Structure 1
Amino acid sequence: MALHKILVFSVFFTLVYGEQFPSSKNVKTELKTYIVHVNKLDTSTDPSLSDDTKSYHESFLPVSTTTTDSSAENRQLIYSYQNAISGFSARLTAEEVEAMKAKDGFISARPERTYRRFTTHSPNFLGLHPETGLWKQSSFGKGVIIGVLDTGIFPTHPSFSGAGLPPPPAKWKGKCEFEAAKCNNKLTGARSFNLAANASQQTPLDDDGHGTHTASTAAGAFVKNASVFGNAYGTAVGIAPLAHLAIYKVCFGPDCPESDILAGLDAAIEDGVDVLSISLGEDSMPFFNDNIAIGSFAAVQKGIFVSCAGGNSGPTEQTITNEAPWILTVGASTIDRSIRATAKLGDGQEFDGESVFQPKDFPPTPLPLVYAGADGNEDSAFCANGSLAGADVRGKVVLCDRGGGVARVDKGAEVKNAGGAAMILANDQANAFSTSADAHLLPATHVSYAAGLKTKAYINSTTMPTATILFKGTVIGDSLAPIVASFSSRGPSMATPGILKPDIIGPGVNILAAWPVPLDTNTNTKLTFNVESGTSMACPHLSGMAALLKSAHPYWSPAAIKSAIMTTANLVNLKGTAIVDQTLTAADLFATGAGHANPSRANDPGLVYDIATDDYIPYLCGLGYSDQQVSTIAHKSVHCTSEIGEGQLNYPTFSVELGSSQSFTRTVTNVGAAASYYSVKIVAPQGVSVSVQPARLQFTKLNEKASYAVTFSRSGNNTSSFSQGYLKWVSSKYTVRSVVSVKFI
C-alpha cells in the first residue's frame, strides 16, 4: 500500500499541535488549531456593513489574538475560507473558544484533525484506446481542469509537458507559485497551503512522490519508454491526457492538516476547476463534522465533480471513508499485469509473487532458507529494524512476515544489513492475497499468505530447507483481474448506512506513474517512474474518467456523471466470472460498490439518476441532523420542514435495511436514444422478493424523466445477515444496472 499507507496512505489522526504562549495571568495556556464554523455574513438588513468576510471572521477572535505579527508562531487567524465552509481556522485556547461561543453567529469549533494520504497499462486495461471509444469521443479530456489536493508536484517531469495543449479555458482564475517557466498549458496552476503545517517549504514542489504520482495518473501526458528498473515498460499516460492540472499542495511529509486541506479546497473552487481529486481521508464521522464532505458539497454546488479515495483499512468491514453521497467514493482493484518474482522451494513448490527490482544476475541455484521468526520473537518475524542483528542469516534466503508496523522495503533492508542474500515476504492473514511490486534493496518477492504458510510448513519439514527466487519480469494476462485489493476499505458506511459505499472500484494495485526522482540513482534519466498501490492510486483513475465524461458531456451534472460511472460498471472479471476479493471468492458489494469502472460504457449510459444539490437537504434532515447542522453542510439557512429516508435519495444503487418490506421511488433521465423504452430485469437478493412498478419505461425525447417504485419484501428465512442482487433497465441498446444490498433486521 505504500504511500497510500495512504490509507493508502498511512494514517492516524491526532489532534493538532499544542503550542504555548504567555497568558495575561502569566501562565502557559495550550494553543491548538481550531476549525470554526460561523453563520454567513448577512448585509441585507444593514447595507453599511462591509462585505469583508475576513474582517467578519476576525471579529470572532479575542482582541489579544488579532496580532499583526506575521510569524507562523504568533499567527492566530490562519485561513479565512470563502467557499469551502462558512468559517475560518485559527490558533486558539480552549478558554478563547468558550468565550467565542457567546458571539452572535457562532456555530461550532473543534480542534482540527490531521488527515492521512490514503501508468503504462491501466488505461488500456480500462479499455481506453487512442483511435476509438471514449478517448476519441472526449478529445482526451481537452478543456477540463482537474484539481489535485495532495503533496504537490514535480513540475519538470515529462508527464506534465504542455506540448500541443491549448491554454486553459477563460474561466480559469488560478495561479502558479513556481517560476513561470515551470507551469504550462498542462500544469496550469500550482499552489501551496502550509500555514497550519508550519512547513518551511513555500512552493508546491513535491518532495514525497505521492502527489506527482496521483496527478500523472489522472492526467499525465503521453511519455514513451517508461518503466521501473526496466519493468512495466511502455508508454505512460494518464486517464485524461489532454486535461489541464491544477495542483494544491496541502500535505507536508506525512501530515495533511485539515485547515490546509480546506484552504486548498477553498482555492480550487474559486480558481474554477471542473474535477477535484482527493486521495486523502479520515475516519468516518457525521457529515456536519466532516470538512471534506462540507467543502465538497460547496464544490458540487458549483458543478465540480469530486472523487475521493475510500481508504486502505480493508478488508475489515465498516472502514470506508469519504462516504458523503455527493462524493464518488473509490475502492482499489488489481489490473491484469504483474511484475513477477517466483519463490521456488527446495521441494519444487513455486509461489508467484512480485518485485519491481529484478536483478538479472541472481543465481537460480537454491540457497539455504530460514524463517526470521523461528525463535518466536515477533520483531524478528516482522524483520523489524535491528531484529536480525546476530541472527544466522548470512547468504541465506530469509522469510519475513508482513506487518508489525514495518514498511515492506524496510524489512528487506534489515535482511540485507544482516547479511541475507534474498527475502521472501509473506502476507499476513488480513492482507491475504494482494501483493506489491516494490523497489526492494535486495533480491526479494512478495507472496500471498497461503504461500507463506506453505513455505513455513516446508521449512519445518526438513533439516536443510532451500529456496531461490526466479525473476520473470512483466507478465500480462491475469484472467481473474480485476480483483478487489485486500487493503481497500469496505462498507457498509457508518455515516450513512442507507447509501451503498464504496461507489466504485478502479485500478489501484501496482500502478506505474510519474515520480520526482529516479529510484535507481545510477540512472541518468528524466524518465522517472514508480509503482505504487492504494486507493490513492484508484481515486485519480476515476478523477480522470470523470474529466473525460465532463469533456464529452459538458452539461451533465456531477450526479449525472457519477450515475453514468456506476450503472455501467462491470461485475465480472476478464474471465467472465464474478469479481473476487482477497480470499479468491466472490466479492460482496461492500467491497466492489457498483462494480469496476468501464469508461467506454459510461460515456453512453442510456439513463442517469440525477440529483440536484437541494435534493440532498431532505436526505440530510432525514439523518436526524439539526437545522444548524444541515445549514452548515448546505452553505445556506435550512429549516428541516421535510425529510426523506436515506433510501429515498435518487441514488444509482440501493442499500436496504429490511424488516418486512421497504419501498423506494427513483427517477431516471433519458440521455440515450430519444425514442426508446426499457423493461426491468431483476436478480433478487436471496430471501428477498422485489417488485417494480411500472415494469416498463417509455421515452419520446432526450432529457425526459420517468419514475418508478421498487418494493423489497422478505420472501423467507435467510440465515445470513446480508444479501445482494440487482435490478436493471434494459432497452435494445442499453443496460442500466443498480446493485442492491439488503441487510435483514
Structure 2
Amino acid sequence: MTGFSAFLTEKEVEAMSKLDWFLQAYPSRAYRLHTTRTPTFLGLRRGKQGVWRSSNMGEGVIIGLLDSGITPGHPSFDDYGMPPPPAKWKGRCDLNASFCNNKLIGARSFVNYDGRKRRSNVTVVDADGHGTHTASTAAGAFVKRANIYGLARGLASGMAPRAHLAIYKVCLESCASDDILAGMDAAVGDGVDVLSISLGGDPIALGGFNAISKGIFVSCSAGNSGPDHYTVSNDAPWLLTVGASTVDRSFRATVKLGDGQELDGESMYQPSNYKSKLLPLVYPAAPTAAIIFKGTALRVPNSPALASFSSRGPSQITPGILKPDILGPGVNVLAAWNTQKFNMISGTSMSCPHLSGISALIKHAHPDWSPAAIKSAILTTARQKDNRQQPIVDEKHVPADLFAVGAGHVDPQRAIDPGLVYDLAPGDYIPYLCGLGIKDESVSAIVRKNVKCSSVKSITEGELNYPSITVTLPAIGSKWISYTRTVTNVGKPMTEYSAAVDVAKGVTARVRPAKLYFKEVNQKQSFTISFRRNGDGFGPAEGRLRWVSKEHVVRSPISIFME
C-alpha cells in the first residue's frame, strides 16, 4: 500500500503522524475541470506525408482519460475496424455490455470511491459533456457530417482515431483529490499507455510520477487563468503541460459601420435568411452599423495564436523549469457531447487531449521510448511561427513570450522523427526534488520510496536534462553559468549535428563541443551550454539553442532572467 484516503479529524491526523510508517498527509481538496478542423490543421491528413498516411492512427495504444465520464453509444466511440485491446490490458468496463467494445475498452467511476468495496456509487455516464468532449478529441472514431448548428460540417475524428479508450470518472461538479489519485492509480494498474488529464491539482503531480515510473506518458492542461503570469498549473517536470491556441478556422460575423469600416468577430448563430441593413446605434439616428454573417472561414491568417485564457508561467513552485511546455488547439474545438452529438467549446481542457492523442501516435511509432523521450520529441520539434511565418502572437497581437508558448506549437509529423531526444529516467528527478529544498518525507511521498536528501547529490532546476533551458544571470562581471545536457540519437547512424545558439542582446552564450557526431542509433552525447552577462539589461530575455544536421533541427527554448 502506498497511500489511502480517510475521513479524519485534525487530532487523528496528528496522532497518525507519530507512527513509524507515516510520511505525509494531504487534505482532500476539490478541483475544477479546465474547460474538425484540427487533424487537418495539424497536418495529420496532409497528403502522402501526413502521419495518418503512414498507417499510424494510434493502433494498439491505450489512452486513459480522467474526467467527468463518457457518453456510451456515441458514434465517436464506435469500434468499426478496430482490433481487440492488447493482451496487457487488465481493466474493466462498468457499462452495459453493448456499449463496451474495442474502442471503449474501459469505463470506471471513482467519484465517492469506496476503497473497501472497490466501487463508486456514481455512474460512469457523463452528465456534464466535458469528459465526452475530451475523450473524442484524443481518440474519437471517424464520424461523417459532424457539425454544430450546421457550421463546421465535415468528417470529425480524434488525434489517434484507432487508439483504445479507458475512461476514469473522477469529477461531477468538481473533482476530489482522493478520487483523482484513485483513478490515476487504477489507470496505471490497468495498463494504459497515455494518461490525459484536463484538470489541475497537486494530486496529479503525485499520481503522475507513479505513472511515468511505469512508462506511462502524462498529458495535462495548463489552466485557464491567463493572461496573467504565474498562473500555470500541472507544472511538475515529469508532466507535459499544455497551453491553448487558436486554429485557422473562424465563424465570421462582421460589424459594418456606416462609414464602410468592417470589424470582424465570430458567432455560432448564422441565420441563412437574415437581411443585413444599417441601423442606428443611437436614437435618434446618429452613427449606424449592420451585422453581416459570413459563415465558416478557413485558412485564417495569423494561426495559431495564443488563447487569451491560457495560463502563463513562470511556475510558482519550480520557476527554473519553463512551463507551459507546449501549445495545442484549444479554441472552438468541435467534439462529441452528451446531450447532442457535437458541441464546440474552448479551454486548455481541449488542448490537453490533442497532445494526448499525438503522444499516442508517437508511442505507436516508437513503443520503446520513455515518457521523457516522447516529451522531448514534442518540444524540440515545435513551431515558433504561424501560417504566415510570423511569430505566434498573444491576445494583444504582439509576439507571445516563452512563459506563454513554452517551446511553441505542436507539429505531430516532426515530433515522430525528432533526430535527438533529451531523455530522463524516473530516478533522475530525485536530485532535482532534493535541490528544491523539499523535505525528505515529501520527496519520499512523491517517488513512493524512502529518500534521504542528505545522501543525494542534489542538482539545481537548470541541471535537469530537460528539453528547455532556464537560466538566471547575476550582475555583469560574474563567472559563466554552465549547464550540461545529454542527447540521445534516435535518427540515423553516422550523423553530425552542429550547434547554433541565439540569445538576447546583453547575454553571451557558447556551446562546447560545437559539433556532435553519432555513429550509432541510441548513442548518447553530452554538451555544455554556458551563459554570461555582457550588458546592462535586466529582466526576462529569450534565446534558442539549435542542433542542426542535414535532416533535423532540434530546438530548445532558452528563458533568461537578468538580475
* 1:112 and 2:28 matched: yes
**Structure 2 SS opposite 1:683:** strand
**Structure 1 SS opposite 2:52:** helix
Change (3 A) 1:216 1:181: same
Provide the C-alpha distance between the structure 2 equivalents of 1:365 and 1:133, rounded to a whole number of angstroms.
Answer: 45
Deviation of 1:465 (Å): 4.4
Instruction: Name the Cα RMSD after superposition.
Output: 1.8
Give the structure 2 partner of residue 557 of structure 1: 370
Of residues 157-166 and 635-644 in structure 1, the stretch that sits farther from structure 2 once superposed is 635-644
Which consecutive unaligned segments of at least 5 residues does structure 2 have?
none
Change (3 A) 1:200 1:294: closer
Deviation of 1:469 (Å): 2.0
2:71 aligns with one of 146, 154, 163: 154
Of residues 222-231 and 680-689 in structure 1, the stretch that sits farther from structure 2 once superposed is 680-689
Give the structure 2 partner of residue 618 of structure 1: 431
Deviation of 1:194 (Å): 1.4
Q: Does the 8 Å CA contact 1:329/1:504 hold for their aligned counterparts?
A: yes
**Structure 2 SS opposite 1:724:** strand
**Structure 2 SS opposite 1:107:** coil
Q: 1:368-447 alignment to 2 at 5 Å?
A: 368-369=280-281
**Structure 1 SS opposite 2:5:** strand
Provide the C-alpha distance between the structure 2 equivalents of 1:583 and 1:277, rounded to a whole number of angstroms.
Answer: 30
* 1:331 and 2:248 matched: no
CA offsets per residue over residues 646-699 of structure 1, 9 Å max, x none?
000000001111113311000000000111010001111221100100000001
Q: 1:305-344 alignment to 2 at 5 Å?
A: 305-344=217-256
* 1:698 and 2:513 matched: no
Give the structure 1 partner of residue 8 of structure 2: 92
- The AA in structure 2 aligned to 1:656 is V
- The AA in structure 1 aligned to 2:151 is N
Of residues 603-612 and 350-359 in structure 1, the stretch that sits farther from structure 2 once superposed is 350-359
Deviation of 1:132 (Å): 3.5
Q: Does the 8 Å CA contact 1:185/1:244 hold for their aligned counterparts?
A: yes
Give the structure 1 partner of residue 494 of structure 2: 675
Q: 1:22-101 alignment to 2 at 5 Å?
A: 53=1, 86-101=2-17
Give the structure 2 partner of residue 514 of structure 1: 336
- The AA in structure 1 aligned to 2:306 is V
Provide the C-alpha distance between the structure 2 equivalents of 1:191 and 1:466, rounded to a whole number of angstroms.
Answer: 57
**Structure 1 SS opposite 2:427:** helix
2:446 aligns with one of 616, 625, 633: 633
CA offsets per residue over residues 247-300 of structure 1, 9 Å max, x none?
011111x21111111111011011000000000014xxxxxxx22101100000
Give the structure 2 partner of residue 276 of structure 1: 195
Q: Does the 8 Å CA contact 1:277/1:307 hold for their aligned counterparts?
A: yes
Which consecutive unaligned segments of at least 5 residues does structure 1 have?
1-52, 54-85, 283-289, 370-458, 519-527
* 1:298 and 2:298 matched: no
- The AA in structure 1 aligned to 2:257 is L
Say which one has the larger Rg. 1
Give the structure 2 partner of residue 80 of structure 1: none
Give the structure 2 partner of residue 647 of structure 1: 462
**Structure 2 SS opposite 1:190:** strand
* 1:479 and 2:301 matched: yes
**Structure 2 SS opposite 1:665:** strand
- The AA in structure 2 aligned to 1:194 is V
Deviation of 1:327 (Å): 0.3
Provide the C-alpha distance between the structure 1 equivalents of 2:69 and 2:132, rounded to a whole number of angstroms.
Answer: 7
Provide the C-alpha distance between the structure 2 equivalents of 1:356 and 1:156, rounded to a whole number of angstroms.
Answer: 26
**Structure 1 SS opposite 2:7:** strand
Deviation of 1:138 (Å): 5.7
* 1:713 and 2:532 matched: yes
Count of residue correspondences: 552
Give the percent of matched residue pairs that are identical in Structure 1 and Structure 2: 59
* 1:202 and 2:122 matched: yes
Give the structure 2 partner of residue 566 of structure 1: 379
Provide the C-alpha distance between the structure 1 equivalents of 2:365 and 2:235, rounded to a whole number of angstroms.
Answer: 27
Provide the C-alpha distance between the structure 2 equivalents of 1:473 and 1:672, rounded to a whole number of angstroms.
Answer: 44
- The AA in structure 1 aligned to 2:320 is G
Q: Does the 8 Å CA contact 1:685/1:740 hold for their aligned counterparts?
A: no
Provide the C-alpha distance between the structure 1 equivalents of 2:279 and 2:95, rounded to a whole number of angstroms.
Answer: 52
Provide the C-alpha distance between the structure 2 equivalents of 1:96 and 1:143, rounded to a whole number of angstroms.
Answer: 46
1:732 aligns with one of 521, 540, 550: 550
* 1:535 and 2:327 matched: no
Provide the C-alpha distance between the structure 2 equivalents of 1:177 and 1:469, rounded to a whole number of angstroms.
Answer: 50
Q: Does the 8 Å CA contact 1:192/1:250 hold for their aligned counterparts?
A: yes
Provide the C-alpha distance between the structure 2 equivalents of 1:570 and 1:138, rounded to a whole number of angstroms.
Answer: 24
Deviation of 1:200 (Å): 9.4
* 1:187 and 2:6 matched: no
**Structure 2 SS opposite 1:239:** coil
Give the structure 2 partner of residue 349 of structure 1: 261
- The AA in structure 2 aligned to 1:675 is M
Q: Does the 8 Å CA contact 1:560/1:611 hold for their aligned counterparts?
A: yes
Q: TM-score, normalised by structure 1?
A: 0.72
Provide the C-alpha distance between the structure 1 equivalents of 2:551 and 2:523, rounded to a whole number of angstroms.
Answer: 17
Provide the C-alpha distance between the structure 1 equivalents of 2:420 and 2:104, rounded to a whole number of angstroms.
Answer: 34
* 1:597 and 2:419 matched: no
Provide the C-alpha distance between the structure 2 equivalents of 1:167 and 1:503, rounded to a whole number of angstroms.
Answer: 34
Q: Does the 8 Å CA contact 1:485/1:582 hold for their aligned counterparts?
A: yes
Q: Does the 8 Å CA contact 2:503/2:543 hold for their aligned counterparts?
A: yes
Deviation of 1:359 (Å): 1.6
CA offsets per residue over residues 141-172 of structure 1, 9 Å max, x none?
00000001001111211010011000000000
Give the structure 2 partner of residue 470 of structure 1: 292
Give the structure 2 partner of residue 230 of structure 1: 150
Provide the C-alpha distance between the structure 1 equivalents of 2:120 and 2:68, rounded to a whole number of angstroms.
Answer: 14
Give the structure 1 partner of residue 58 of structure 2: 141
- The AA in structure 1 aligned to 2:468 is T
Provide the C-alpha distance between the structure 1 equivalents of 2:52 and 2:120, rounded to a whole number of angstroms.
Answer: 41
